[in-house]
Structure 1
Amino acid sequence: MVLAIAGSDSSGGAGIAADIRAAHDLGATLRFALSAVTAQSDRQVTVIHPVPPDILREQIRLALEDGTVGAIKIGMLGSVAAVETVASALTEYTDLPVVIDPVVSSSSGRRLLDDAAMAVFIERMLPRATLLTPNLPELQILAAAILDAAPPATIAEQAGVLLGAGTKAVLVKGGHGQGDNAVDLLFQSGGDTPYRLASPRRPVAIRGTGCMLSTAICVALAQGGSLAASCRRGKDSLTILFERAAAAQAGRSDRG
């Protein structure tokens, strides 16, 4: 059993809908607490309506009160109030692993975390994260916000900035990188060499992959996996998804 705290995506591609699919594919039950309701498509986000803090807080309380949730995944929060509400709610559950997918902007490019919310997110959420799962642009944005300056030049240095801010581990996703393989790098506090996870890069576009990866890792942690093994399991589940999508696309092309 896992809890996902994130926003809804009316297109069904990302957000809570993607979290539910990922958990179901791994045979897990997912409870969720909605942080925001959005109106969006593959091309744009037109409305973001924050869930009132008291309702968000009550969703979290009821999801966790019976003690059956084994890990928590946090996605889009979207406002200062949501960040503060979630951070406060989790102070009672310090034993649970927390995987944070730092949703800074939508796939269509709309900013989902403004400067004020970013500052509170860095101060209150990063120290609570068992694992942070930024893509390359998110990594740079977070590092720059922490330093209040241009980010360092290398991925390792940027990840080090996040670790220095209190995050226990950072999985840098390689989907925005170059090359034949999509390479994710797991940096851990106190570790010297990152754990490398590679998979063939597929020429297909799928929305919600960050949501699904972080939820899959969360499920694996809830089931007792180590951090590295849980990241591997999450990566493998995403690789299967891309392989199926590529095969389906090839089949459509063959049929003309």
Structure 2
Amino acid sequence: MSPIPPTVLVIAGNDPSGGAGIAADLQAISALGAHPAPVITALTVQDTVDASRVEAAAGELVAAQMNAVLADIPVAAVKIGLLATADIATAVAEVLARHPGLPVVLDPVLVAAGGARLAEDALVDVILRRLCPLTTLLTPNALEIRRLAPGLDTTTTRAGALRAAGCDFVLAKGGDEEDTGHGEVVNTLYGPHDTQTFRWPRLEGSFHGSGCTLASACAARIALGDTVEKAVAQAQADTHAWLEASFQPGRGQRVPWRRPR
């Protein structure tokens, strides 16, 4: 029999285009040799252009899905994506609080790549009060870090505020920031001891599901035994390779080709 791969508990919404959400998570985690256990938080109506509708599950149903997996399978890491409502976020926090020590990667999905809002305002408060203290790695993009830490004027101060809220590490992603003319995407990891800067060639075009892919790759790498710092570095290399191999399945953005690495 084959060795048992480590399990990543994935909490996210469904994207019927297969570009983002739970499909992206399952593909990325599987490609890296871990086993994804999917918990669905919401059904969305979206394509590779934008999202138009979100139907959230009841928080109790999300918690029941999580409890079923956690009672049955040793979970090595947790990846959280679209939560959609404060009710769901509260339910997720309550379950995770009963399992201290689990590494948690939180990708705070608040807006679709096309600009549609995917989360209610009350969710931000629950993320900051209830989920950040349980989070090992937070992976906000430029819009998300501004919304989670309003009133602050630099990425460093925003990341500092989120770490003060309880997150061990914050990976501030720069893909959505304005290109400074160097043709680079600059991602910065803020941790307990130091700050690491990663520079990647900026690829042409726009991509659907890149954030989900990166966060899931981080969770898979952590589940496989990497430190957070090593997981973040390697997961960025994984994601960049998948973006280089991306394809355009529809009328909108390109989708990472999440092949085994």
Q: Does TM, scored on the shorter chain, surpass 0.5?
A: yes
1:173-188 alignment to 2 at 5 Å?
173-177=173-177, 178=179, 179-188=182-191
Please state how far the C-alpha of 1:185 moved relative to its aligned partner. 0.5
**Matched AA of 1:164:** A
Deviates more, 1:224-233 or 1:61-70: 61-70
Q: Is the contact between residue 12 and residue 42 of structure 2 (CA under 8 Å) also seen in structure 1?
A: yes
Highest relative contact order (Cα 8 Å, sep 6+), 1 or 2?
2
1:27 maps to which of 29, 33, 42: 33
Normalised by the length of structure 2, the TM-score is 0.88
- Which residue matches 2:257? none
**Matched AA of 1:157:** T
- Which residue matches 2:49? 43
The percentage of aligned residue pairs carrying the same residue is 34
- Which residue matches 1:166? 166
Please state how far the C-alpha of 1:67 moved relative to its aligned partner. 4.1
- Which residue matches 1:252? none
- Which residue matches 1:218? 219
SS in 2 for 1:93: coil
Normalised by the length of structure 1, the TM-score is 0.89
- Which residue matches 2:145? 139
1:113 maps to which of 114, 119, 124: 119
Structure 1 gaps, min length 5: 145-149, 250-256
Q: Is the contact between residue 89 and residue 123 of structure 2 (CA under 8 Å) also seen in structure 1?
A: yes
Please state how far the C-alpha of 1:203 moved relative to its aligned partner. 0.5
Q: Is the contact between residue 204 and residue 242 of structure 1 (CA under 8 Å) also seen in structure 2?
A: no
Please state how far the C-alpha of 1:42 moved relative to its aligned partner. 2.3
Please state how far the C-alpha of 1:184 moved relative to its aligned partner. 0.9
- Which residue matches 1:241? 242
2:135 maps to which of 126, 129, 134: 129
- Which one has a larger percent helix, Structure 1 or Structure 2? 1
2:101 maps to which of 89, 95, 105: 95
**Matched AA of 2:161:** V
Q: Is the contact between residue 34 and residue 224 of structure 2 (CA under 8 Å) also seen in structure 1?
A: no
**Matched AA of 1:26:** L
Please list every run of at least 4 consecutive aligned residues from structure 1 whose deviation after the TM superposition is greater than 4 angstroms: none
- Which residue matches 1:72? 78
Q: Does 1:154 align with 2:154?
A: yes
Please state how far the C-alpha of 1:244 moved relative to its aligned partner. 1.6
Q: Distance in 2 between matches of 1:245 and 1:81?
A: 35
Count of aligned positions: 239
Please state how far the C-alpha of 1:170 moved relative to its aligned partner. 0.1
Q: Distance in 2 between matches of 1:199 and 1:131?
A: 20
SS in 1 for 2:118: coil
Please state how far the C-alpha of 1:88 moved relative to its aligned partner. 0.6
1:197-223 CA deviation, whole Å, 9 max, x = no partner?
Answer: 222111032210100100000011111
SS in 2 for 1:215: helix
Please state how far the C-alpha of 1:16 moved relative to its aligned partner. 0.0
Q: Is the contact between residue 59 and residue 89 of structure 2 (CA under 8 Å) also seen in structure 1?
A: no
1:128-183 CA deviation, whole Å, 9 max, x = no partner?
Answer: 11010001111111101xxxxx2x22211111111111111100111113232212
- Which residue matches 1:253? none
Structure 2 gaps, min length 5: 1-6, 248-253, 255-261
Please state how far the C-alpha of 1:68 moved relative to its aligned partner. 2.0
